[in-house]
Chains A and B, each alone.
Chain A
């Protein structure tokens, strides 16, 4: 059988960002995949070394467009651990709320794009309509729809007033009801099942061996989530990771869908338990010399920040490892054996974020 090598990307309707997969086909079956990265490198890590440590927050937020606030929060948490600074309880809860709001809108965005990838356009529009309500809530509280800039070293900058809180509770009740209404579509609809069940399977052992993170790992039956650590307010909110056992595209889709509902519950719980108090602690001087690492869960999986201080206003090193980088190797297992029209769906299930990966 003759083999054909097709360059999938860097410009492709499925990819919002540039990544290339050199896919070798035998007839319509994929037999080999070689990913090529490096189209979106911006040198943010190097810029972080040249910048003031307080200005880096806004730079780190620009690593990713979707989970920008989580990048800012993770950077602040890492730098605070150099002193170490104990941030107020209210700030911890607010950081949790802003992180979870990012997760809800990111998962709704993904669910919409995923539906669009297999041609279910009306489902795509329904998810994006719901997402718009979440973005409105983010804009109301943080000031911006996407680049939120709420976190500072020592706490947060924006508070949630009582009026905003009641509006948020009402909106998230509607968002949850509207999202739940689409449960039966995702779980029972023939179109969804025919395109996703048994497509791009990765077993538990393979997922662990290839170092997968986030919904890809949890979709293969491993209960691993960075939010299980004692960070921010997740311990108080009794967070439990969501796990599916099948390891196929449908399982990963369901993990994200259930996480979306869980994140709404976490926001409501955090809003109801929101303690009174200061928003930020004051600190003096520059971060002391030392090195620190911090893990936080992005919508796409576990993110890792390493920060090395030297006692001056500039940091020696800021290293970021983002979830897509850990999940790309799993494509080498999922894609071979699948057919040509399944490739966009499988690639979508790792939720690739290339601007995060290459920074």
Chain B
């Protein structure tokens, strides 16, 4: 007990080490890995993030321009943020709120339908050139 006295005395004057949590929110450090956010306007659905994700939390269908993100699988390793060529994924320092159901975040891009090919007249169908002149 006597050897703890200096610590006990300093604890009296140093104030509490804890914070009043629900009232005082903890501000995370600047580059803390809280959760990731997708920007649909920047995303080109290349699938780089899905290939590099170690937790298989991102699924991309390149042709259909579909990106499904599973927040419950994400380990917030920041690999996708580094892999994205268009900076469409950003890292937020705040933790995601707890969730009870496994919901999937769906991101859909605009599939630009290519105009149907105009039917060019084929040589065989082309009307025979009019014979002109005397033969």
Q: Which residues of A contact B (CB under 8 A)?
A: 51-52, 54-55, 57-59, 122-123, 126, 129, 132, 136, 139-140, 143-144, 147, 149, 157-158, 181-182, 184-185, 188-189
6 A–B contacts from the bound complex (CB under 8 Å)? A123-B4, A139-B32, A140-B32, A147-B75, A181-B10, A184-B3
Number of interface residues of B (CB under 8 A): 23
Given A140-B29, A143-B32, A184-B3 in contact, is the A58-B75 Cβ separation under 8 Å?
A: yes
Q: How long is the Cα–Cα vector from A342 to B89 in the complex, in angstroms?
A: 53
List the one stretch of B65-73, B76-84, B114-122 in contact with chain A. B76-84
Q: Are A58 and B54 in contact (CB under 8 A)?
A: yes
Nearest CB of B to A41, in Å: 21
Give every chain A residue within 8 A of B77 (Cβ-Cβ).
58, 149
Q: How long is the Cα–Cα vector from A51 to B55 in the complex, in angstroms?
A: 11
Given A143-B31, A149-B78: 7 more A-B contacts, CB < 8 Å: A55-B54, A58-B54, A58-B79, A139-B28, A139-B29, A144-B76, A188-B3
Q: Residue B17 at the A interface, CB < 8 A?
A: yes
Given A139-B32, A143-B32 in contact, is the A181-B82 Cβ separation under 8 Å?
A: no
Given A139-B29, A144-B33, A144-B76 in contact, is the A122-B4 Cβ separation under 8 Å?
A: yes
Contact with A129, one of B4, B17, B29 (Cβ below 8 angstroms): B17
Q: Are A181 and B78 in contact (CB under 8 A)?
A: no
Q: Residue B101 at the A interface, CB < 8 A?
A: no
Give every chain A residue within 8 A of B76 (Cβ-Cβ).
144
Q: Are B6 and A157 in contact (CB under 8 A)?
A: no
Q: Which residues of B contact A (CB under 8 A)?
A: 1, 3-4, 6-8, 10, 17, 28-33, 52, 54-55, 75-79, 82
Give every chain A residue within 8 A of B6 (Cβ-Cβ).
181
Residue of B nearest to A188 (CB): B3
Q: Are B17 and A132 in contact (CB under 8 A)?
A: yes
Nearest CB of A to B109, in Å: 26
- The residue in A55, A123, A189 that gathers the most chain B C-beta atoms within 10 A of its C-beta is A55
Nearest CB of A to B19, in Å: 11
Q: How long is the Cα–Cα vector from A95 to B63 in the complex, in angstroms?
A: 41
Give every chain B residue within 8 A of A144 (Cβ-Cβ).
32-33, 76
Residue of A nearest to B56 (CB): A55
Which 7 A-B residue pairs are closest in the complex by CB-CB distance? A55-B54, A143-B33, A58-B54, A140-B29, A185-B3, A184-B3, A129-B17
Nearest CB of A to B13, in Å: 14
Q: Are B3 and A189 in contact (CB under 8 A)?
A: yes
Q: Are B55 and A58 in contact (CB under 8 A)?
A: yes
Residue of A nearest to B11 (CB): A126
Q: Are B3 and A126 in contact (CB under 8 A)?
A: no
Give every chain B residue within 8 A of A54 (Cβ-Cβ).
52, 54
Q: How long is the Cα–Cα vector from A251 to B4 in the complex, in angstroms?
A: 21
Give every chain A residue within 8 A of B82 (Cβ-Cβ).
157
Give every chain B residue within 8 A of A51 (Cβ-Cβ).
54
Residue of B nearest to A189 (CB): B3
Q: How long is the Cα–Cα vector from A134 to B10 in the complex, in angstroms?
A: 20
Q: How long is the Cα–Cα vector from A158 to B75 in the complex, in angstroms?
A: 17
Q: How long is the Cα–Cα vector from A144 to B4 in the complex, in angstroms?
A: 33
Q: How long is the Cα–Cα vector from A280 to B110 in the complex, in angstroms?
A: 37
Q: Are A126 and B7 in contact (CB under 8 A)?
A: yes
Q: Are B54 and A59 in contact (CB under 8 A)?
A: yes
- The residue in B3, B7, B8, B79 that gathers the most chain A C-beta atoms within 10 A of its C-beta is B3
Q: How long is the Cα–Cα vector from A310 to B16 in the complex, in angstroms?
A: 56
Residue of B nearest to A137 (CB): B29
Give every chain A residue within 8 A of B4 (Cβ-Cβ).
122-123, 185, 189
Give every chain B residue within 8 A of A58 (Cβ-Cβ).
54-55, 75, 77, 79
Nearest CB of B to A214, in Å: 27
Q: How long is the Cα–Cα vector from A157 to B55 in the complex, in angstroms?
A: 18
Residue of A nearest to B8 (CB): A122
Nearest CB of B to A164, in Å: 9
Nearest CB of B to A238, in Å: 31
Q: How long is the Cα–Cα vector from A139 to B95 in the complex, in angstroms?
A: 13
Nearest CB of B to A101, in Å: 14
Give every chain B residue within 8 A of A189 (Cβ-Cβ).
1, 3-4
- The residue in B10, B55, B75 that gathers the most chain A C-beta atoms within 10 A of its C-beta is B75
Give every chain A residue within 8 A of B30 (Cβ-Cβ).
140
Q: How long is the Cα–Cα vector from A129 to B4 in the complex, in angstroms?
A: 15
Give every chain B residue within 8 A of A188 (Cβ-Cβ).
3
Give every chain A residue within 8 A of B55 (Cβ-Cβ).
58
Residue of B nearest to A183 (CB): B3
Q: Are B78 and A143 in contact (CB under 8 A)?
A: yes
